[in-house]
Structure 1
Amino acid sequence: MSEETRHEALSSFLRKKRAVISPQSAGFPIGVRRRTPGLRREEIAQLAGVSTTWYTWLEQGRDIKVSSAVLDSIASALRLTEDERTYVYNLALDVNAKLVQKKTVLTEISPSVKTILKALNYCPAVVTDRYCQIVGWNRAAAYVFLDFKEIPMEQRNLIRLLFTRKELKSLAVNWEHFVRGFLAIFRVYYGRYVEDEWYKRFIDNMSMLHPEFQSLWMQSEVNTAPDVLIEFRHSKAGKMEFNLTSLEVQGDADLRLSVYTPVPGTTTEGKLREFMH
């Protein structure tokens, strides 16, 4: 990601977060001259204890000096979560610039991860890398989602498949809620690997081809492990309910294990046992 792109990403994110804070909740009067939602730049600057000019330059994406202490104040003023703070630090300080070279992108998962996938008999599970490329899955995932083996390796990008495969678009009852969780994880990687040009190319391409992607991406959610309850309408099994748990796999490569556990008290696990035999 170029310096210009990194600054643009930071600028867009700060504006989005500023716009969702109500003046009343921050102790400011609503006033009659507010033309846009949320707080004004000068109000964020006041809360953070910085000059309005400096904050304006930061939000405009100018190339200015930024310290961790000042970013802490900005993050507090904007009420950022820990994941959102990390995202802002990565973009503003370029703290992970060398990670692109150090981290490995794998196309094959380890035997131990394969064993875990196999052991999760009736819990659909998918392993993805930092680009959201699918590098591993179990039999339950192939049944509930797609048989990823039939998709060429270079096309197994989870984000792209969510927008291009009609089976996945019709599967989730609340498709947008389903997708937002993965986009929130994807944005974590986007901020972490600020030097990797792949992300800009991918996002530009998806935005051009899929207006829905652009709309959801612009919501700027950031979450390393979103808590998602998902209801599926499976073509064979009918209604199925899962809790999604997303875990980072330890190791040199950025791998993530997403496990869909059947909601207790529902018929989901029983249906999986019946239809997978």
Structure 2
Amino acid sequence: MDQLDQRTELGEFLRTRRARLRPEDVGLPDHGRHRRVPGLRREELAQLAGVSVAYYTRLEQGHGQNVSADVLDAIARALRLDGTETAHLTHLARPRPRRQRNRPHRPQQVRPQLRTLLEAMEGVPAYLVGRRQDVIGWNRLAVAVFGDFGALPPQERNLVRLVFLDPATSALYAEWECRACEVVSNLRMYAGRHPEDEQLPALVGELSVKNEEFRRLWAAHTVADKSHGVKQLRHPLVGELELSFETLTLPDDPEQSLVAFHAAPGSPSADALRLLSSWAAAPVPAEDRAARG
């Protein structure tokens, strides 16, 4: 499979959003034990959206073409979608032009000035995230906090893969379940925007085979865009860390985002971060440099 089937993705997304709604959530009577399916029936959703049952059924089966913005908005309102979910629905319901679908992705490049900026961010762990949440740039303090990305083969420098398949990364997050939901939701959102990405099915397939929790979360079709917040970490050297983060999408390349972390001034986490920073900045002994070749 060279790419995800956008029609299948659309149908599954609509079904999972419909299944999470109860009749009483939308002002409909609940027939209790006589209800054979979880959530709303197709005919109930079609009624709420003001479209025919046949039309909505075709859409849920992935056969809707040229869906108008008004219809998508009506379905989004009926499904109680938030802004991120509505954008995801729009991406799924409106296939990209053929010239974009068939255009191969070139390897992403990090501008030299951006690498310089990363290294200049002293005391601030930061990394650059690209397609599929690949880590394509980082500074020394990010390595001290999150692990040595450079020691990994390029295909393994991926946040989703690390969260689910790397034991050290899993142990780092005190709230692992939240982090797992976050990276899968972000990957789902990326899949809606870039179903033609030829490397995406391989990543999803590998994670689905190797991790049951990933399979469950991927099947839930949850999408979210959490660009800032707080991470609770259990660092193997300095103990507990509470770091706020901000995600800044590059204006000249929306497929690259800079993620920077910081601790509250005067907090134990700030002290721990300074300690890690001093270790990261320490010169490598001559014998170590020689051993590295």
In structure 2, what is the equivalent of residue 184 of structure 1?
185
Worse-superposed segment, 96-105 or 252-261 = 96-105
Report the Cα distance in structure 2 between the residues aligned to 1:275 and 1:153, rounded to whole angstroms.
Answer: 25
Q: Do residues 203 (structure 1) and 211 (structure 2) align?
A: no
Paired residues of 1:124 and 1:138 also in contact (CA < 8 A): yes
- What are the Cα deviations for residues 185-208 of structure 1, in whole angstroms up to 9, with x where unaligned? 222211111223322232122111
Task: Return the TM-score normalized by structure 1.
Answer: 0.90
Structure 1 residues 39, 115: closer, same or farther in 2, change over 3 A? same
Moved more, 176-185 or 35-44: 35-44
In structure 1, the residue matched to 2:148 is 147
Question: CA contact under 8 A between 1:105 and 1:129: conserved in structure 2?
Answer: no
**CA distance 1:95–1:80, shift in 2 (3 Å):** farther
Give the distance between the partners of 1:273 and 1:125, measured in 2 at CA.
Answer: 14
Note the alpha carbon deviations across 1:98-133, whole angstroms, 9 max, x for none. 446679644431133223322332232111211222
Call closer, same or farther: CA 1:28–1:265 in 2, change over 3 Å: farther
Call closer, same or farther: CA 1:65–1:275 in 2, change over 3 Å: closer
Identity %, equivalent residues: 35
In structure 2, the partner of 1:162 is: 163
- Pairwise CA distance, 1:224: 3.2
Which stretch of the first structure deviates more once superposed, 252-261 or 127-136?
252-261
Question: Are residues 138 and 244 of structure 1, via their aligned partners in 2, closer, same or farther at CA, if it must alter by over 3 Å?
Answer: same
Distance 1:142 1:189 in 2: 25
Residues 129, 194 of structure 1: alpha-carbon distance in 2 compared, 3 angstrom cutoff: same
Cα distance in 2 for residues equivalent to 1:218 and 1:154: 24
Aligned residues: 277
Q: Which amino acid aligns with 1:92?
A: A
Distance 2:45 2:88 in 1: 18
Q: Give yes or no for the alignment of 1:255 onto 2:260.
A: no
- Do the aligned partners of residues 99 and 119 (structure 1) sit closer, same or farther apart at CA in structure 2, a change above 3 Å counting? farther
Gaps of 5+ in 1: none
CA–CA distance in structure 1, aligned partners of residues 98 and 246 of structure 2: 29
- Please report how far the alpha carbon of residue 178 of structure 1 lies from its aligned counterpart in structure 2 after TM superposition: 0.9
Structure 1 CA distance for aligned equivalents of residues 73 and 147 of structure 2: 43
CA root-mean-square deviation: 2.4
Q: What is the rounded CA distance, in whole Å, between the counterparts of 1:81 and 1:58 in structure 2?
A: 20
Contact 2:102 2:196 in 1 (8 A): no
Distance 1:4 1:272, change over 3 A: closer
Match of 2:276 in 1: 275
